């Protein structure tokens, strides 16, 4: 019973079957021409052996024709083979990336990024070499063996049968040992994925490493993981070399048989010298599977395991019912008796009761770790394993389709990511917007002077390296404003801006009509604070105070203390 191919694997042949079929056809033609070379050699040797000038002259004509035909078939194979591999690889990567983009934020954040990086680097190179090109090489190897076997039996069966028998035994032994190579390849891939994940993690924390002078300690962590990876790779190489050694020994035995038995039969006048030379040429094709079939099959099986592992990651569907469509934001957002924990003993939010009404402005303040940013994660559907209720217009967020939710909500975060593209592309996220809407977003985000100075086509560089922190933040603010969603979340979005720019941006956002603003901030500018309809004060995962600026100041409670500290 054949193995069921994954959807990933099927991408290789999608709209690519003609290239594959023509590649196989050209491989057959090339293998036939290679085997025909044995008969060419026999023809020439026997012409010399029997001292026939006319036969030799005729042989040169045949040889020239052979060369032209062989060149034609080789170029045919080159064109179709490379077209097949190019399209197969391209479609495979497109499919993986498309499926990756379909993941929810919570799915992607659950350690999947390292798996995708590994898939696009080490795994993909192995799949291209050992599965795509490897499958074609495997087919060619089998063709060579079958063709050479038929040709050798035709030339002299007395020599062909013992050679083929020894070759088949050698192939079976090599294949049996080659199974170990599959497991070694799988182990290497898993270790490489862990290694990539750790390097990614360490590089993301580079600033922290340097500021805490933890280079030596981090280097030890890196060396430990690196040593383990290289030890695993060594084990794979040792196994591969062992298979090759067995194959080489078998090849030597077959060669000795061809020479010894062949020349013995020639001495007995059973074969001509030309036949022996032809056998030596065919022996290369008989020996080819002895040397390469086991490693080729093992590497191909290992590549299939990689494809299946990628399939498990990208084709795993979330067990979630189809959500309700949130067509418009009409009324309010409500947290009711909500509790949330990341772990059994790590309570982040406790008994949260909040109401954000449409069109109003709200500030959320509090110390670090008080749960402010976690509120936003729940609002965006990152986590649904909370107790209590979180409703938008009376509909539980757990039941809302996330795509329709994101049509209603935009978020500006403190940590900004920019693509290596133009300022305009980073504002529009490569989509088309009305030019007036784009210019309004640029003006409201305080980007006008930057655009006038550098132009909207100015490249932001990798990760936005060509812009300052404040400029990057303003681009991210414009990115959200251009969408025109009815709900805007800001998580310390003005933290990297100077006071004047920050006040200008906040004033513009707070003066916008038909926009519900929920802003996490550590800035306590009195003029700005007075513009909020309500301020929620958080501490240790709970809302401990709420009210307008004047109401909270009159209470002289926790907010009053935070405000006075900020002014000091």
Same domain membership, residue 467 and residue 381: yes
4-18 confidence digits (pLDDT tens) = 677 888 889 889 999
pLDDT at 314 over 70: yes
Which of 322-331, 464-473, 495-504 bottoms out in mean pLDDT, i.e. has the lowest? 495-504
**What pLDDT does residue 1 have?**
37
Domain assignment of residue 419, yes or no: yes
Question: Domain end: 245, 279, 314, which one?
Answer: 314
Quick check: 353 and 337 in contact, CB under 8 A? Answer: yes
**Ranges 30-44, 94-108, 158-172, 253-267: which has the least confidence:** 94-108
For the chain, the average pLDDT equals 84
| 121 domain residue, yes or no | yes
The pLDDT of 114-140, averaged and rounded, is 81
Residue 262's nearest CA partner among 251, 273, 253 is 273
410 within a domain of the structure (yes/no): yes
Q: In Å, what is the CA distance from 548 to each residue of 386, 513, 517, 559, 560?
A: 29, 20, 15, 11, 12
The domain boundary, picked from 283, 314, 345, lies at 314
Alpha-carbon 479 to chain mean position: 26
- Considering only residues 566 and 422, tell me which one the structure prediction assigns the higher pLDDT: 422
The answer to whether position 509 is within a domain reads yes
The count of structural domains within the chain is 2
Lowest mean pLDDT among 37-51, 152-166, 336-350: 37-51
We report the CATH number of the domain holding residue 560 as: 3.40.50.300
> Where residue 361 falls among pLDDT bands split at 50, 70, 90?
very high
In-domain check, residue 405:
yes
Q: Is the pLDDT of residue 535 over 90?
A: yes
pLDDT-derived band of residue 568, with 50, 70 and 90 as boundaries? low
If asked whether residues 169 and 225 sit together in one domain, one would say yes
Domain membership of residue 320 (yes or no) is no
pLDDT top residue among 61 and 549: 549
**Is 111 a member of any domain?**
yes
Confidence label for 320 from pLDDT (cuts 50, 70 and 90) = low
User: Do 351 and 269 sit in the same domain of this protein?
Assistant: no
Based on the fold, state whether residues 239 and 284 are members of the same structural domain: yes
pLDDT tens-digit readout, 445-458: 888 888 999 988 99
Q: What is the mean pLDDT of residues 24-32?
A: 90
Do residues 252 and 397 share a domain? no
Average pLDDT over residues 307-335: 77
Report the candidate in 398, 384, 565, 376 with the shortest Cα–Cα distance to residue 487: 376
User: Same domain, yes or no, for 76 and 187?
Assistant: yes
Q: How many CB atoms lie within 10 A of CB 356?
A: 21
**33: domain CATH number?**
1.20.1560.10
Instruction: Please indicate, yes or no, whether residues 144 and 278 belong to a single structural domain of this protein.
Output: yes
pLDDT in tens, 182-241: 778 778 878 887 887 788 778 777 776 776 677 888 888 899 989 999 999 998 888 878
What is the reported pLDDT for 110?
A: 53
Domain residues for the domain of 154 are: 7-314
Tell whether 265 and 386 lie within a shared domain: no
Q: Is the pLDDT of residue 109 over 60?
A: no
Instruction: Mark whether 274 and 367 lie in a shared domain.
Output: no
Encoded tokens for 46: 């026997």
Looking at the structure, tell me whether residues 254 and 395 fall in a common domain. no
pLDDT at 231: 93
**324, part of any domain:** no
Please check whether residues 340 and 254 belong to one and the same domain: no
Strands 487-491 and 534-539: unpaired
Q: Residue 533 pLDDT more than 90? A: yes
- Report the half-sphere exposure of 62 (CA within 13 A, side-chain side): 15
CA distance 357 to 336: 14
Identify the pLDDT of residue 193: 76
153/255 same-domain check: yes
Residue 348 has pLDDT above 80, yes or no: yes
pLDDT digits (tens, 9 = 90+) for 222-232: 999 899 999 99
Percent of the chain with pLDDT over 90: 22
* pLDDT bucket at 396, cuts 50 / 70 / 90: very high
pLDDT tens, position by position, 33-80: 888 888 877 777 777 766 666 766 776 777 788 888 888 988 999 999
Tokens at 219, concatenated? 């280097």
pLDDT value of residue 530: 92
Number of residues in the chain:
568
**Nearest alpha carbon to residue 261 among 243, 234, 279:** 279
Q: Which of 280, 314, 348 is the last residue of a domain?
A: 314
């Amino acid at each position: 019973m054949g193995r069921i191919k994954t959807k990933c694997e099927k991408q290789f042949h999608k709209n690519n079957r003609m290239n594959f079929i023509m590649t196989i056809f050209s491989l057959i033609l090339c293998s036939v021409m290679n085997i025909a070379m044995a008969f060419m050699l026999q023809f020439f040797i026997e012409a010399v052996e029997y001292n026939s000038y006319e036969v030799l002259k005729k042989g040169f004509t045949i040889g020239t024709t052979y060369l032209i035909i062989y060149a034609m078939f080789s170029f045919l194979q080159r064109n179709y083979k490379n077209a097949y591999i190019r399209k197969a690889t391209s479609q495979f990567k497109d499919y993986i990336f498309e499926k990756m983009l379909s993941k929810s934020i919570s799915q992607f954040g659950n350690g999947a990024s390292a798996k995708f990086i590994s898939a696009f680097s080490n795994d993909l190179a192995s799949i291209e070499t050992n599965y795509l090109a490897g499958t074609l090489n495997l087919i060619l190897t089998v063709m060579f063996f079958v063709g050479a076997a038929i040709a050798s039996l035709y030339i002299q069966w007395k020599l062909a049968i013992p050679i083929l028998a020894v070759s088949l035994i050698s192939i079976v032994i090599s294949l049996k040992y080659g199974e170990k190579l599959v497991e070694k390849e799988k182990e290497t891939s898993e270790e490489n994925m862990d290694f990539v994940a750790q390097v990614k993690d360490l590089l993301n924390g580079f600033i922290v490493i340097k500021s805490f002078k933890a280079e030596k300690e981090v280097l030890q962590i890196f060396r430990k993981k690196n040593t383990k990876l290289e030890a695993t790779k060594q084990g794979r190489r040792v196994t591969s070399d062992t298979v090759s050694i067995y194959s080489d020994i078998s090849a030597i035995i077959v060669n000795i048989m061809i020479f010894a038995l062949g020349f013995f039969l020639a001495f007995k006048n059973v074969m001509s010298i030309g036949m022996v030379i032809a056998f030596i040429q065919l022996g290369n094709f008989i020996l080819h599977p002895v040397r390469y079939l086991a490693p080729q099959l093992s590497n191909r099986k290992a590549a299939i395991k990689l494809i299946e592992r990628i399939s498990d990651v990208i084709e795993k569907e979330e067990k979630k019912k189809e959500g309700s469509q949130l067509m418009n934001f009409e009324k309010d957002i409500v947290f009711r008796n909500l509790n949330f924990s990341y772990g059994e003993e790590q309570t982040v939010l406790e008994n949260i009761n909040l109401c954000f009404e449409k069109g109003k402005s709200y500030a959320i303040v509090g110390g670090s770790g008080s749960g402010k940013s976690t509120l936003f994660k729940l609002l965006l559907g990152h986590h649904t394993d909370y107790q209590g209720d979180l409703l938008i217009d009376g509909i539980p967020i757990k039941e809302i389709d996330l795509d329709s939710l994101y049509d209603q909500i935009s978020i500006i975060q403190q940590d900004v990511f920019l693509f290596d593209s133009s300022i305009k592309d980073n504002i529009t996220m490569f989509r088309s917007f009305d030019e007036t809407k784009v210019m309004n977003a640029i003006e409201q985000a305080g980007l006008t002077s930057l655009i006038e100075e550098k132009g909207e086509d100015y490249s932001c560089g990798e990760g936005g390296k060509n812009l300052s922190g404040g400029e990057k933040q303003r681009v991210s603010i414009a990115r959200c404003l251009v969408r025109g969603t009815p709900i805007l979340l800001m998580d310390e979005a003005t933290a990297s801006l100077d006071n004047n720019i920050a006040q200008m941006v906040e004033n513009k956002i707070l003066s916008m009509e038909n926009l519900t603003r929920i802003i996490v901030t550590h800035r306590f500018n009195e003029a700005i604070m007075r513009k909020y309809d309500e301020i929620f004060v958080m501490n240790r995962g709970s809302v401990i105070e709420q009210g307008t600026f004047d109401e909270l100041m009159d209470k002289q409670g926790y907010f009053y203390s935070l405000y006075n500290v900020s002014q000091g």
